[in-house]
Amino acid sequence: MSEVVKKEDKSGAVSVRVEDDLRQLKPSLEKVTVSEGRTTLNTQALNIRKHAEDCLKTVNKQQLVLPPIEDLQKKTISKWTPCLEKISDVKKQRENLPGAPAGEQDKLALNMCLPNKRSIRHQKSGKLLTDTHRKRANEAKGDRIISGSVVNLQGAESKGHHILVVPKEDFWTDSKSTCHEQPVCKTKAESTYLRADKDCTPTETPAFATTSKSMVPRSPQSLPVDIPRYLFTIRSGQVDPMAADFCHFKQCFVLCWSSVVDVLEALQKLLREFAVPLAKVGGERLVELSHVWDSGWSKAPSAMPVLSVLENWEEVSELISHPGQRYKGEGGIEAAAIHIQSSWRRYLARTAYLCHCRRKWAAGTIAISWLMHAQLCRVRKALQARRFSQLENSRSRAQHLAANWKRIQSFKRTIIHIPSLGYSQRKRLNLRGFDILQNIQMSRLCDIRDENVEVIYICPQHLGNDILDYYTSLLKCDGATDGADTRTARASSSVRRYIILTPEAVDYFPTHNMCLSTLLKYSPQTLKHIRNLIQGKHAYIVGGIAHVDDLAVADELGLPILGPEPAIAQHYSTKSGGRRIFVGAEVDVPPGQGDIYSLNQETVLLRYLDEIPEWLTHYAQPAKTSCYPNWACFLKTFLRQGGVVEAYPPSNSVTCLTVDLLLEPGGEVTMFSCGDQLHGGCKLEAIGSIVPQSSVHPETLHSICTRVGRACLQRRIVGYVSVDLVSFLDHNTMEKKVWAVDLDITYSNQLAMTQMLLMMTGGTLNCRTGCLEAPMPISEKCCEHQIVPKAPVGNLCAVIGNHLFHSDLSMLYNKVFLMMCKAHGIRFNKKTKQGTVFAFFDSSKRSSIGMITVSEDLQRALATFARHLSVIHQEISIPKSQGETNFMEVIKEIEDILQMTQNKLQREAKPAS
C-alpha cells in the first residue's frame, strides 16, 4: 500500500508541473491563428484539467475497494477519551477565538481536534461510495480523503476502525475541484471569504496523519494547536519563486494553485503599478480570495479586496492613496499621459457642454422674454382700450349729470362717498396708518342732515360696534328745534338713510396701502351690494383725491362722478398747476416761479445763482422732518417731481385760511366752508381751523373764491375744491393783502368736520357774511291754542381739530374715553348747541380723533378747546412718559392766538376811552 501512495504522489507532482507549463504556454497560443480554412485556433480545447485527469486515469487504473467490515456488535471497543491534561495550549487557543462565549469556546476547541458526526456516519456505512455518496462525503466537515491511501478514522461515537477507499482518478478530480476546510482559527477579515468557500485545506496539514507503516490515527495529544501561517514577501511587485516561505506556501496549496496564481498575479501587478517596495502576503487570505474570485466575480475586483490579503495593508493603502503614486510605478508615464489626455478631453467636453447650456438658457430666456413682452403688450393694449372706454363712459355720464343737476338736487338722491387718497404708489407706501388717514372724513355721514339725501359710506377698515353705535346715536341728534314727535321721526329716518360698507379686498391686501377706490374695484361682492342699493334711484359718486380706479368703479356701478377726470385733477393739484390757475383767475400770488425741475430755472441775477444755493445748503431746514429729514432729501424729491419757489409774506403776523368750494356741474360756484387754520409744530400743515374765518373781509374772500372757481370750471374741473390763502398787513402801504398759495382738488377734512358741526348745531354757515347761525331754544312755554313762535337765531363760533393725535389714547376704549370726558364735563349740550363733540376714526389703534368745540364767541371757544385738550392729556398721560402727541403744539398755537386777540382788543379799546 505504501508503494501505491508513493506512485500517486509522484504522479500528482508531475501533473502539477505540467499544468504550470501549460498555463505559461496559454498566452502565446492565444495569439496563434490557423490560416487553413480561415479559422482561429480554439484555445478552449486545451483543457488543462481534463488532460491532467486523463493522465491520472491512465496511471491509476486499479480501483480500491473497502475491506469487509467486521461485525461491530460482537466486538467491545472502549470509547476514546481525549486527554486534555496533555494538551497544554488548548485554553490559549480557546481564549483567542473571537466572538464566542466561554462555553462555546470549549466546544470549538474540542471540535478542532475531533471529526464531526456526519463523517462517522459515512464511515459506518461500509459501502463503496458512488458519485452522490462521494459528494456528500466531501461536503461533510472534518472528512479527510487521501488519494491512494487507506485512512483509519476514529471519533467520539466510533465502535471500531473503518476504512474509506476511493478510486484514484475520482480522488484527483475531487481534490482539484474542491479543497477541504482547514480547521484553523480565523480572523474577522478572513472569515468573510471562508463563508463563500470553505473547502481549501493545505496538503501538508491534514487533520489525521497517514503513514505507510501504521493505519492507526494520531492521538489528539499529537495534533498541533498553533496553526502555522503561510506568509511570504513581495518586493517591488515581484515574488521570489525560490524563497523558502513562498515555496512552502506553494507546496501546501498545490492542489488549488491554478486559482491562486490569478489572484497573485493581479496583486503583483497592482504593487508594481504603485511602486510598493514591500508587501507581506497572508497565504490563507490569498487562497480564500482566489475561491471568491473564481465563483463570484466575472472580472477583476477592485484594489481594496486584493489589498485585504496583505498583512501590512494599512501601510500599503496609505502609500497607494498618496497623490501621484500611480505614476511612479510600472507604466506610470503612459498612465500619466492617458490621465492628462482624458482630463484635457474632459475639460474640452465640459467647456463645450457649459457653452451649450448657456446658449440654451439664453435662447430660453430670450424666448420667454419675448413671449412675456408680447403678452405684456397685449395686456397693455387691452388695459388702454378698457380705460379709454371707461373714460368715454365717464364723460358721457358727466354730461348727463351736468344737464340734470338742478333736477337731481331737488329730488331724493343717493350719494356714495369714497374718501380715497389716490396718491402715487411711492407716496402711499411711505405713509404710516394709511387706512386711518383715508377714514378721517368719516363725518361725511352727516350729509343725511338733508332729508332728501341717502349716504353710502365706503370705509377703508372694519369698524367695531363701539364706533358704529356712537355714530348711530350722534346722527339721531340733528340739532333741530322741532317737537318731540318730530324729532323722533327724524331720528328714525336718519338711521335708515345711511349705510357703511367695507370692501372685502381690505382683508386680501392688509399691507399694500392701496387707495380705497382700488380696494373697491377688487371687491365684487361690495359692488354688487351697492348696485342693489341704488337700483332705480338718482345717485352719484363723491370721491377723494382722484385716481384712475375711480373710473373703473364708476363704470362697474354705472354712476357719474362729481369730480374732474383723474388726469386733469392730478395736473392741477400740484403747486405749479394751482399757481397757473391763480394767475389765470387774476388773483395775487406770492412772488416766485413755478414749474421748476432744475437749478438752472431760477431766472434771477448771477449773484443770486452763486449765493442762494450755498445759503440753502447751510440754513434751509425742512418744515416737517418726518417727511424730509434734511435739505438734501427735499432737494432730491423737488428736482424729481418739480415744484415752485415762492416768497414768504413779509410780516410777523400771517394768517392762513382755507375755503371749500363746490363747483357745480351746472356752472355755479358755492362756498361751503371757510375757516382760519390751526397749526401744530409745522407752520405749513393745518390740523384744525376756526369757523367761521375772521382774517379776511367776507366780500373780498367771496370775490377771490368766485374768480378761482370760474377759472377751474374753464379747465373742466368740477366737484369739491379747497383754496388755501394767506393774509397779512403790508407795512409799506398799511393795507391787508391776500395771496393764493395752494389749490386742492378734493373733498377736504375741514369740509367733513364742518358737516358734523352743522349736523350737531342744526345751523348754517353763511360765508358771504362770515357767520355761523344756529337756532336757539325757546325759553317760554306756549299754550295749546297759541301759535309757536319762530326760534331765534344766534351766532356761534367753533374750533375744529380734524386730526388730533396722541399715542396714549390707544390705552382707552372709545366708550371708556367718553365716560372719562363726561366725568370732566367735556360733552355737548343739545339745547344750548354748545360744548364739545368727538369724531372717532378707528377701533384698533384709537390714537387719532377729531374734536369740535362750539361756543358763543371766539375767545371762549378757543379757551374751551385748549382746556379740554389739556385735561385729556393729563388724564391719559404718565408724567414720566408723555407719549407722542400734537396736543401741546395745538394748545400753544391757541394760546398765541388768544394773546394776539387780547392785545388787539386792548388797542381798539384805548381810543374809545
pLDDT at residue 433, as a whole number:
87
Give mean pLDDT, residues 167-185: 36
Q: Which residue has the cell 463523517?
A: 119
pLDDT at residue 482, as a whole number:
54
Cα atoms found within 13 Å of the Cα of residue 477, Cβ hemisphere only: 14
Q: Rounded to whole angstroms, how far apart are CA atoms 248 and 240?
A: 12
**Per-residue pLDDT tens for 241-295?**
999 999 999 999 998 898 899 889 999 999 999 999 999 999 999 998 888 877 6
Beta-strand pair 735-744/719-730:
antiparallel
- 12 pLDDT tier (thresholds 50, 70, 90): low
Q: What are phi and psi of 836, to 5 degrees?
A: -125, 135
Give mean pLDDT, residues 166-195: 36
Please name the amino acid found at residue 421: L
- 142 pLDDT tier (thresholds 50, 70, 90): very low
Q: Rounded to whole angstroms, how far apart are CA atoms 633 and 70?
A: 123
- 845 pLDDT tier (thresholds 50, 70, 90): confident
Q: Rounded to whole angstroms, how far apart are CA atoms 592 and 607?
A: 17
Q: What are phi and psi of 847, to 5 degrees?
A: -100, -10
Q: For the chain, what is the mean pLDDT?
A: 76
Asked if residues 221 and 83 have their Cβ atoms less than 8 Å apart, the reply is: yes
Task: Give the three cell numbers for residue 103.
Answer: 462555553
pLDDT at residue 39, as a whole number:
41
Higher pLDDT, 791 or 517: 517
Which residues neighbour 79 within 8 Å (Cβ) at sequence distance 6 or greater?
A: 156
**Per-residue pLDDT tens for 793-841?**
888 999 999 989 999 998 889 999 999 999 999 999 988 889 999 999 9
pLDDT at residue 189, as a whole number:
35
**Per-residue pLDDT tens for 728-778?**
988 888 888 999 999 999 999 999 999 999 999 989 999 888 899 888 876
Exposure string of 827-851, with b = 16+ CB inside 10 Å and e = fewer, is ebebeebbbbbbbbbbbeebbbbbb
Q: Rounded to whole angstroms, how far apart are CA atoms 274 and 82?
A: 52
**Per-residue pLDDT tens for 18-51?**
667 766 665 555 444 443 344 444 444 445 555 5
DSSP 476-519: H-----S-HHHHHHHHHHHHHTEEEE--THHHH-TTS---HHHH
pLDDT at residue 866, as a whole number:
94
Q: Is the peptide bond before 879 cis (omega within 30 degrees of 0)?
A: no
Higher pLDDT, 521 or 112: 521
Going from the C-alpha of 196 to that of each of 98, 177, 265, the distances in angstroms are: 19, 15, 21
Per DSSP, 802 falls in state E
Going from the C-alpha of 191 to that of each of 184, 289, 600, the distances in angstroms are: 11, 11, 96
Higher pLDDT, 621 or 217: 621
Exposure string of 628-649, with b = 16+ CB inside 10 Å and e = fewer, is beebeebbeebeeebbbbbeeb
Q: Rounded to whole angstroms, how far apart are CA atoms 738 and 695?
A: 10
Higher pLDDT, 441 or 732: 441
Exposure string of 41-55, with b = 16+ CB inside 10 Å and e = fewer, is eeeeeeebeeebbeb
Residue 710 burial (CB count, 10 A): 15
Quote the Cα angle for 145-151-152, to 5°. 135
Q: Residues of the chain with pLDDT > 70: what percent?
A: 68
Specify the 3-state DSSP secondary structure of 453: strand
Q: What are phi and psi of 383, to 5 degrees?
A: -65, -40
Give mean pLDDT, residues 411-429: 93
pLDDT at residue 5, as a whole number:
38
Task: Give the three cell numbers for residue 560.
Answer: 357719474
| Confidence check: pLDDT of 719 > 80 | yes
Give mean pLDDT, residues 410-436: 91
Asked if residues 669 and 661 have their Cβ atoms less than 8 Å apart, the reply is: yes
Q: Picking from 344-353, 547-556, 592-601, which range would have the lowest pLDDT averaged per residue?
A: 592-601
Q: Rounded to whole angstroms, how far apart are CA atoms 263 and 903?
A: 121
Residue 347 burial (CB count, 10 A): 10
Which residues neighbour 123 within 8 Å (Cβ) at sequence distance 6 or greater?
A: 153, 155, 158, 162, 164
Higher pLDDT, 128 or 788: 788
- 57 pLDDT tier (thresholds 50, 70, 90): low
Asked if residues 293 and 193 have their Cβ atoms less than 8 Å apart, the reply is: no
Higher pLDDT, 17 or 537: 537
- Which of 440, 685, 394 has its CA nearest to residue 541? 394
The helix-helix angle for 168-177 and 48-59 (nearest 10°) equals 160
Q: Which residue has the cell 434751509?
A: 620
pLDDT at residue 130, as a whole number:
37
pLDDT at residue 782, as a whole number:
52
pLDDT at residue 457, as a whole number:
96
Higher pLDDT, 634 or 578: 578
Q: Rounded to whole angstroms, how far apart are CA atoms 413 and 788?
A: 32
Burial of 74 (0-12, 13-18, 19+ CB in 10 A): exposed
Please name the amino acid found at residue 686: A
Q: Rounded to whole angstroms, how far apart are CA atoms 275 and 283?
A: 22
Give mean pLDDT, residues 688-709: 93
Q: What are phi and psi of 207, to 5 degrees?
A: -70, -30
Give mean pLDDT, residues 165-189: 36
**Per-residue pLDDT tens for 324-358?**
999 999 999 999 999 999 999 999 999 999 999 99
| Confidence check: pLDDT of 688 > 50 | yes
pLDDT at residue 684, as a whole number:
78
| Confidence check: pLDDT of 74 > 70 | no
Higher pLDDT, 87 or 872: 872
Q: Picking from 17-31, 55-69, 539-553, 756-770, which range would have the lowest pLDDT averaged per residue?
A: 55-69
Q: Specify the length of the chain in residues.
A: 913
Quote the Cα angle for 615-616-617, to 5°. 90
- Which of 161, 169, 194, 159 has its CA nearest to residue 179? 194
pLDDT at residue 268, as a whole number:
93
Beta-strand pair 453-458/413-417:
parallel
Q: Rounded to whole angstroms, how far apart are CA atoms 690 and 674?
A: 8
Q: Residues of the chain with pLDDT > 90: what percent?
A: 46
Task: Tell me the whole-structure pTM to 2 decimals.
Answer: 0.63
Q: Picking from 112-116, 341-345, 705-709, which range would have the lowest pLDDT averaged per residue?
A: 112-116
Q: Which residue has the cell 402727541?
A: 885
Q: Picking from 131-135, 436-440, 492-496, 595-599, which range would have the lowest pLDDT averaged per residue?
A: 131-135
CA dihedral 701, 706, 711, 714 (to 10 degrees): 170
Q: Rounded to whole angstroms, how far apart are CA atoms 12 and 52?
A: 9
pLDDT at residue 139, as a whole number:
41
pLDDT at residue 53, as a whole number:
56
Beta-strand pair 413-417/278-282:
unpaired
Q: Rounded to whole angstroms, how far apart are CA atoms 128 and 124?
A: 12
Which residues neighbour 642 within 8 Å (Cβ) at sequence distance 6 or greater?
A: 574, 576, 595, 596, 597
